[in-house]
Amino acid sequence: MSASHFVQIAVEIGVLLFAVAFHESAHGYVALKCGDRTAQDLGRISLNPLRHLDPVGSLLLPTLLALAGAPVFGWAKPVPVSLRGVPNPRRANLLVAAAGPLSTLLLAAASAWIVTLLRRHAGTEEPSMAAAVAFFVAVSSLAVNASLAVFNLLPIPPLDGFGVLESLLPPRFFPVAIWLRRYGAAILMLAILSGSLGVVLGPARRAVIQWLLRLPG
């Protein structure tokens, strides 16, 4: 493996660790605003990646994906949330679930803005080393956060997309949701190992990146 490839992987993993820390902290912060202090009391509303690290989802899987040249994504330890006793728990569950993907899209949008800004700068003068490094990190952050946002919006438990969907389902569909909760992790792992997840993730990720780069800035 060349030095440049090693640096690229290190940057992508570093970007992912920050992204998942931001993502999980968003869950915890919104839960706190809804009346649940569990995440705050456990110190999980923090941008310190070590507080959220999952050895498989935060390190092993992203590294393997990076080595294979595939889009890098992963997950962290889920922030514990207890919505019993909070006002309107169904609405709270919707807000808490949506907070993760929305925070990731916010990071992706910020990264896209930096990429666009530095592209304009490069067109007017020769970029400095600092600008070149910032551009490389911003491009990596855009790609990683776009992948993470699309991945988490999939309606498969335990991903956030399912939490949003579950909060919107009529009560008659609750037995189906309970069944999916039981087998969702196995379904998700099968989708990853079979490569079928990449069929969905790749085009959706590219569409999100293109959309963000076209936003006015």
**Residues with catalytic function:** 24
CA distance 154 to 201: 9
CA distance 11 to 135: 12
Identify whether the C-beta of residue 164 lies closer than 8 Å to the C-beta of residue 98: yes
Token pair of 194 as six digits: 């079979």
CA distance 27 to 81: 8
Find the length of the chain.
217
CA atoms within 13 A on the CB side of 207: 7
User: CA angle, 181 as apex, 176 and 185 as ends, to 5°?
Assistant: 130
The SS3 of residue 69 is coil
| Prior bond of 158 cis (ω within 30°) | yes
CA distance 22 to 17: 9
Q: Which of 107, 119, 169 is nearest to 144 (CA)?
A: 107
CA terminus-to-terminus distance, the chain: 37
